[in-house]
Amino acid sequence: MSLLSITDMKVSYGHIEAIKGVSLAVEEGEVVTILGANGAGKTTLMRTISGLLKPTAGTITYDGNDITQTRADAIVGLGIAHSPEGRRVFGTLTVEENLMLGAYTRPRTEALETRKQVYDLFPRLLERRLQLSGTLSGGEQQMLAIGRAMMAKPRLLMLDEPSLGLAPIIVKNIFAALADVRKTGVTILVVEQNARIALKLADRGYVLEVGKIVHEDTAKALMASSEVQEAYLGKG
């Protein structure tokens, strides 16, 4: 049984349908990427999985339970953490306060343990632990957003465009850290416009186009596919 499976899901903003019947599955321990151009519906898909949006049709099953109607704040407790697009760190709170909020659903002693792991993964955050997160650089904020999601000790870690707006060297660092994270056995669902780096990390991928999945394959196959190369890897 898949850790996460979505069937025939539709999501609308008013009468604009942004997700037009999507089905996908993520197995435990996998890294799955969802590629797609700007406006394809990637963020909408993620926000629906984490409960911030409610689908108009279809079901979301996580670990055997239907979570389609579960509230966002309850979904975190089930083991799904979501690092949102644009990082959304709490700018007037310190780095450490942000991290501890990530573990809001967990006992403090366990949270402190995870915090140590996050600081090991991103030593930069430890250096800046008492700094207001709004004063961090973009790359540091992204590390904080990922670290904050990890604080929930999720089974499914969802990342929405972790490379957004960052210099290539920083993107490389962040994906190197994510490669370390995957070794701990966490299942990762990562949305990206930067297909090259996402496919390097992922086992499998889906390609989303205007609210529909148009390709689904192993990361290797997607990397080799001429259509994907043309549209998302800037070759052709």
Ligand X SMILES: Nc1ncnc2c1ncn2[C@@H]1O[C@H](COP(=O)(O)OP(=O)(O)O)[C@@H](O)[C@H]1O
The rounded radius of gyration (Å) of the Cα atoms in the chain is 17
Look at the chain and count its residues.
236
Query: Closer to another protein at the Cβ: 88 or 235?
Result: 88
Residue 58 lies near another protein (rule: CB under 8 A): no
Q: Please pick, from the candidates 24, 76, 181, 198, the single residue that binds another protein as defined by CB under 8 A.
A: 76
Q: What is the DSSP string of 105-161?
A: TS-HHHHHHHHHHHHHH-HHHHHTTTSBGGGS-HHHHHHHHHHHHHTT--SEEEEE-
Query: Closer to Mg ion at the Cβ: 114 or 163?
Result: 163
Q: Please pick, from the candidates 81, 207, 223, 228, the single residue that binds another protein as defined by CB under 8 A.
A: 81
Total number of residues that touch ligand X (CB under 6 A): 11
Query: CA of 106: how far to CAs of 66, 101, 155, 184, 233, in Å?
Result: 22, 10, 14, 19, 40
Q: How far apart are CA 177 and CA 198, in angstroms?
A: 13
Query: Closer to another protein at the Cβ: 65 or 218?
Result: 65
Ramachandran bin of 178, using left for φ above 0, alpha for ψ from -120 to 50, beta for the remaining angles = alpha
Measuring CA to CA, which residue among 100, 84, 170, 90 is closest to residue 132?
90
Residue 28 lies near Mg ion (rule: CB under 5 A): no
Query: Closer to Mg ion at the Cβ: 136 or 159?
Result: 159
Residue 87 lies near ligand X (rule: CB under 6 A): no
Q: Do 96 and 129 contact (CB within 8 A), yes or no?
A: yes
Q: Which stretch in 54-62, 82-90, 121-129, 223-231 sits in contact with Mg ion by CB under 5 A?
A: 82-90
Q: Do 84 and 78 contact (CB within 8 A), yes or no?
A: no
Q: Please pick, from the candidates 16, 109, 234, 236, the single residue that binds ligand X as defined by CB under 6 A.
A: 16
User: Could you give the strand order of the β-sheet that contains 31-35, starting from the edge strand earlier in sequence?
Assistant: 80-83, 156-160, 187-192, 31-35, 204-209, 212-218
As a whole number of Å, the end-to-end CA separation of the chain is: 38
Instruction: Mark 41-80 with x for binding to ligand X (rule: CB under 6 A) and - for no binding.
Output: xxxx------------------------------------
Q: How far apart are CA 82 and CA 133, in angstroms?
A: 18
Query: Closer to ligand X at the Cβ: 111 or 199?
Result: 199
Within 16-55, the residues that bind another protein by CB under 8 A are 47, 50-52
Q: How far is the CB of 214 from another protein (least distance, A)?
A: 28
Query: Closer to another protein at the Cβ: 52 or 126?
Result: 52
Q: Which residues bind another protein (CB under 8 A)?
A: 47, 50-52, 71-74, 76-77, 81-82, 84, 88-93, 97, 100-102, 104-105, 134, 148-149, 152
Q: Which residues bind ligand X (CB under 6 A)?
A: 13, 16, 18, 36, 38-44
